[in-house]
Structure 1
Amino acid sequence: MRIALLPLDERPVNVRLPAEVAAVAGAEVVVPPAGALPRMRVPGDVDVLGDWLVGQCLDPATDAAVVSLEMLHHGGLLPSRLSHDDLWSTLGRSQVLRTIRAARPSLPIAALSVVMRASDSYVADEEPEYWTLYGRDLHAVGADLHRSFLGEPTSGAGARVPHEARADFLRRRLRNHLVNLAALDLVADGVIAPLLVTADDTASRSAGSVEQAWIAHWSRALCRPEGSVVSHPGADEVSAVLVSRALGALDPRPVSIAVACADPLGLKRTAPYENAPVGVGAASQIRASGSVVADGPGDALLVVHAPDPIGGDWRGRMPHDCGREPGPAARGDEAVRSTAAVIRAALDAGAAVGLADVRYANGADPRLVTELLEQGLIERLSAYAAWNTAGNTLGSVVATLRAGVIGRRAGAFDAHAARRLLVGRVLEDWGYQAVVRTRLTGTLDPQAGEDPAADGRGDSYLARARRELAGLLERVSPGARLDRVTLPWRRSFEVEFDVRLPHDRPRGA
């Protein structure tokens, strides 16, 4: 099976992760040439990307397509927040989807779009330059717009933002919101289905959250059948989720995924940077993948290591119970023991288990990983994730679980690809995000834009990161080798590496 993917941007989570998920079921993902993709803030070539998509989709060898509307319309995720393209030029780029649908009426075309974020920070890496001066104030502007819509008192916290910056921010939001509404028309016309409209780095009161409500209103009015438009927290995991959905063509039987959480209240908590409880998000991610939420055992089990009741963020307010600050370590130990017990019981009963560790934002719970390694449970998992936001983590685990179920049913399951994906995620989400990156960041403040890999220090940072990751990899998978370590956006936030497992063939062989 071959799936054409127009990714959200060029980072590994949007290009490489979907391909790794597909490989678990023996399928192939093709992406545009690197030269056409964006380079962080520099947009991709929208004309070349549109032509590439048409060419791939008109090729009879292509069985399905997954299309990021940010890439199609703006040349990538960051360019969608930065470009000054007018509304009509932007909307016109959707015509390629109608061209494809006319030529291949039965080709599955799934699409993803992101509600424009308003980061609650003064870091302008992914935002307009004025974010360094007014970022948190503009986040407050969005929150007040939401409160005003709901008839709630407003704070007036964005009053110091100059008119020019406020107008630029709001007009770009308006353009992108109208593009998202126009995507509903593509669903109503049968051009794309499903459409996932997700929101990252948001809050219960924010510009993005009220826009999600407006999109939900119109999708209920226009789009049938139910479920053709899905909205929940997330972004970078969506391509992998939709790729896993496309894998259903290999075996049409429904995939059922059960959800378990050791903490009775855990699924009701809302994780940092999100606007819905993790239990709601988990169920929505399962449905978005084309699977169903199981009432009983199901074909696979998603175990959720619930958010810490008092929060924790490896790139912000450090977790209290992981040694960086004094705090109630006993509470963390109990949560670890309880989650490990649920995992062991399910594995011993023969379940295919995926672990979504959302206890903290931007990295794993190190105590849980240590416990699972000591009990020999990590290697028995079918999927694992603990990266960035809860939506990112939940979606990638759901996608991997689904790929495994379908691959086994279809006789196409690739155990080596599944093992490589598992080891890679543990090393990145635990080894890099929670351990190595945290250690190398030291006393720097990421929320103020301080980065240990910035200002010409990238080579030194990478050398230290590689040494530490190699040692941690030996704990996760003895005999595995770390071949390459890079920083895709030349900053410490994300990393890319190659893991060579025993019996891997050399590249190009």
Structure 2
Amino acid sequence: MIIEVIKIIKILYVPLDERPCNYLYPQYISKTRKDIELIVPHKELLGNKKEPGDVNKIWEFVLEESVNADIMVLSIEMLIYGGLLPSRLHNLSKEEGSKRINNFITLKELNPLTPIFGFNLIMRTPRYNSSDEEPDYYEEYGEKIFYRAYLMDKKSRVGLNVDEEKMLNKICNIIPQEYLKDYENRRKFNLLINKSILELVEKDIIDFLSIPQDDSSVYGYTAKDQKVIYRNILKKNIQNDVMIYPGADEVGSTLIARALNYLLDRSPKVYPFYSSTKGPLIIPLYEDRPLNESLKAHILASGCQWINSPEDADFILAINSPGEIMEEATYQDNKDISYNSFRQLNFFVDQIYRFVNQNKPVVVADSAFANGGDLELIRYLDEYNVLERLVSYKGWNTNCNTLGTSIAAGVFGLEKQNQLYMRKNLLYHLLEDGLYQAKIRKVVTDDVLPSLGGNYFQLNGQDEKVSKEVKLRLKQLYEKIIKKSFKNISINNLKIYFPWHRMFEIGIDFEISKNI
């Protein structure tokens, strides 16, 4: 009897934070292969929303486990600030910041031949009032802080009209100076860390750096910081080792895909195609550039290559794009007419059907709407009997969140080593992206939370009751929309939880089994 010995590839991964999109999605994607071991810190070390992770213990974990890793994918935010939200709230001293930067040097000295892929965000500036993910004063002054910087930057670059000048003067007299000082000092510190990380790339301590842009804008604080970073990249001549593009919560998945491709010494060929003619040129919500430009960056960041021939492709990337403008998924029952007149969804799914029947691996990136999937597309895919034959379906949050995780799923799914887990991933994102985000989240928020004393940002300790409502409605909508697919698969022990005790994201836990 011959026993096949599989060489296990070990990837050390430190996520951006503890939410499923950063902590679990990369693990779920990696489990579609049998030869990958993702080495991840215990979740308890990673903090809880605004509470920072235990940076010192995480570094102890990284330094200890690094000797067993073939490659490392590391979040700078987690290893410097203790997570994404703590990076917007901290009061770190320059001395502590320098100490944590020096840990990367120690790490490389211990493992001189082990590649380090890092990711580091430029601090965002939301344009709305909410302290859910920002300092407390952002609840009252967030929108004004954004527009003050937006108008000041625009004034220095292209000038303002009379109304904009009046608005700027009014805003400047409203925001308390202590809040501006706190906010701007933190931005200066974070920019200093961004520049220090670029120095580590220049010195070959970090081998590749991804800088995804979270909620980017043409003018303002973030745009100004981006300009500084771009200038530093060019000055150091490290543009081949650093990439800046829209995104954030998908970056862990993108870089583990890049890590796998690097270790296998390959560059998978991707053939992308869109559901609409104008799709490549549309600027998605929460992003600052045409969809096609972001697509180029995500393909390159994952270690893949774009080709224009489906016959030569390793996998097909089917991008469901808007017709002319992008809207929020929750309003798709009354969507803009251009979703029909400027997009031919039937033709798009027919193409997917033909690729699948040619045994081409197909990944669907559902970017027609922001913050949720396209229910019409899911119905079409089910009707064509191709839904469960896809390598991946994703349609969550922003376009780039969807693109990055979709491409990563395509990279890991090429050999189809663990098809049962691929189907579990399909079902996970159909439940969360396609059903919860697109439909159920708003319904439960509007119809259930008021009677429980909760709201979108705070469940008021009623997590268990809300999860029961979500679970019930998920099952009902699933049975209503998905008629033909997954007939030989059972979903067992379905559980819903709320990582940050709000409605924006959920965690889903379930088991699947084949029906005999």
Q: TM-score, normalised by structure 1?
A: 0.90
2:411 is aligned to 402
1:472–1:452 distance in 2 versus 1, CA, 3 Å: farther
**8 Å contact from structure 2 (residues 356, 362) kept in 1:** yes
**8 Å contact from structure 1 (residues 427, 472) kept in 2:** no
Choose the corresponding residue for 2:469, options 453, 464, 468.
Answer: 464
1:213–1:351 distance in 2 versus 1, CA, 3 Å: farther
**What displacement does 1:88 show?**
3.4
Q: Cα deviations across residues 20-72 of structure 1 (Å, max 9, x unaligned)?
A: 12222321212112232111000111111111111111x2x311111100001
SS at match of 1:232: strand
Q: How does 1:292-307 map to 2 (within 5 A)?
A: 292-297=305-310, 298-307=313-322
1:329–1:268 distance in 2 versus 1, CA, 3 Å: closer
The reply on whether 1:435 has 2:439 as its aligned counterpart is yes
1:445–1:301 distance in 2 versus 1, CA, 3 Å: farther
**What displacement does 1:338 show?**
3.5
Q: Cα deviations across residues 186-242 of structure 1 (Å, max 9, x unaligned)?
A: 100001121001111222323223322321221122144x43101111000000111
State the distance in 2 between where 1:445 and 1:129 align.
Answer: 23
Q: Cα deviations across residues 467-490 of structure 1 (Å, max 9, x unaligned)?
A: 122344553634222432110111
**8 Å contact from structure 2 (residues 211, 245) kept in 1:** yes
Choose the corresponding residue for 1:23, options 9, 31, 51.
Answer: 31
**What displacement does 1:169 show?**
1.4
**What displacement does 1:249 show?**
4.7
State the distance in 2 between where 1:141 and 1:67 align.
Answer: 34
**8 Å contact from structure 2 (residues 208, 242) kept in 1:** yes
**8 Å contact from structure 1 (residues 209, 275) kept in 2:** no
**What displacement does 1:497 show?**
1.1
**What displacement does 1:172 show?**
1.1
State the distance in 1 between where 2:427 and 2:386 align.
Answer: 13
Segments of 4+ moved more than 6 angstroms: 443-446
1:31–1:145 distance in 2 versus 1, CA, 3 Å: farther
State the distance in 1 between where 2:282 and 2:129 align.
Answer: 27
SS at match of 1:354: strand
Choose the corresponding residue for 1:425, options 397, 420, 429.
Answer: 429
**What displacement does 1:416 show?**
1.9
**What displacement does 1:453 show?**
5.7
1:278 is aligned to 291
Structure 2 alignment gaps of length 5 or more: 1-8
1:249–1:283 distance in 2 versus 1, CA, 3 Å: closer
State the distance in 2 between where 1:211 and 1:443 align.
Answer: 42
Aligned-CA RMSD value:
2.4
**What displacement does 1:148 show?**
4.0
**What displacement does 1:445 show?**
12
**8 Å contact from structure 2 (residues 324, 342) kept in 1:** no
1:467–1:444 distance in 2 versus 1, CA, 3 Å: closer
1:414 is aligned to 418
Instruction: Look up the equivalent residue of 1:494 and give its one-letter code.
Output: E
State the distance in 1 between where 2:364 and 2:94 align.
Answer: 42
Choose the corresponding residue for 2:194, options 135, 160, 180.
Answer: 180
**8 Å contact from structure 1 (residues 184, 223) kept in 2:** no
Instruction: Look up the equivalent residue of 1:342 and give its one-letter code.
Output: Q
Instruction: Look up the equivalent residue of 2:418 and give its one-letter code.
Output: D
Q: How does 1:61-100 map to 2 (within 5 A)?
A: 61-100=68-107
The reply on whether 1:501 has 2:512 as its aligned counterpart is yes
Q: Cα deviations across residues 380-424 of structure 1 (Å, max 9, x unaligned)?
A: 21111110011100000011111122x45xxxx222222211211
SS at match of 2:508: strand
**8 Å contact from structure 1 (residues 361, 390) kept in 2:** yes
1:63–1:123 distance in 2 versus 1, CA, 3 Å: same
Instruction: Look up the equivalent residue of 1:294 and give its one-letter code.
Output: I
Choose the corresponding residue for 1:361, options 363, 366, 370.
Answer: 370
**What displacement does 1:245 show?**
1.0
State the distance in 2 between where 1:437 and 1:272 align.
Answer: 19
Q: TM-score, normalised by structure 2?
A: 0.89
1:507 is aligned to none
**What displacement does 1:450 show?**
4.0
**8 Å contact from structure 1 (residues 184, 219) kept in 2:** yes
State the distance in 1 between where 2:194 and 2:274 align.
Answer: 34
Choose the corresponding residue for 2:497, options 453, 475, 486.
Answer: 486
Q: How does 1:125-140 map to 2 (within 5 A)?
A: 125-140=132-147
1:247 is aligned to 260
State the distance in 2 between where 1:99 and 1:165 align.
Answer: 37
Higher mean C-alpha displacement, 81-90 vs 40-49 = 81-90
**8 Å contact from structure 2 (residues 128, 143) kept in 1:** yes
SS at match of 1:24: coil
Choose the corresponding residue for 1:382, options 380, 391, 394.
Answer: 391
State the distance in 1 between where 2:56 and 2:143 align.
Answer: 35
Identity of aligned residues (%): 27
**What displacement does 1:12 show?**
0.7
The reply on whether 1:203 has 2:210 as its aligned counterpart is no
Higher mean C-alpha displacement, 247-256 vs 34-43 = 247-256
**8 Å contact from structure 1 (residues 268, 279) kept in 2:** yes
The reply on whether 1:50 has 2:55 as its aligned counterpart is no
SS at match of 2:91: coil
Higher mean C-alpha displacement, 379-388 vs 290-299 = 290-299
* Paired positions, count: 488
State the distance in 2 between where 1:28 and 1:391 align.
Answer: 26
Instruction: Look up the equivalent residue of 2:460 and give its one-letter code.
Output: D
State the distance in 2 between where 1:66 and 1:83 align.
Answer: 23
State the distance in 2 between where 1:388 and 1:355 align.
Answer: 15
State the distance in 2 between where 1:434 and 1:483 align.
Answer: 19
**8 Å contact from structure 2 (residues 349, 381) kept in 1:** yes
Instruction: Look up the equivalent residue of 1:381 and give its one-letter code.
Output: L
Higher mean C-alpha displacement, 208-217 vs 116-125 = 208-217
SS at match of 1:55: helix
The reply on whether 1:14 has 2:22 as its aligned counterpart is yes
1:312 is aligned to 327
The reply on whether 1:107 has 2:118 as its aligned counterpart is no
State the distance in 2 between where 1:114 and 1:2 align.
Answer: 25
State the distance in 1 between where 2:273 and 2:126 align.
Answer: 31
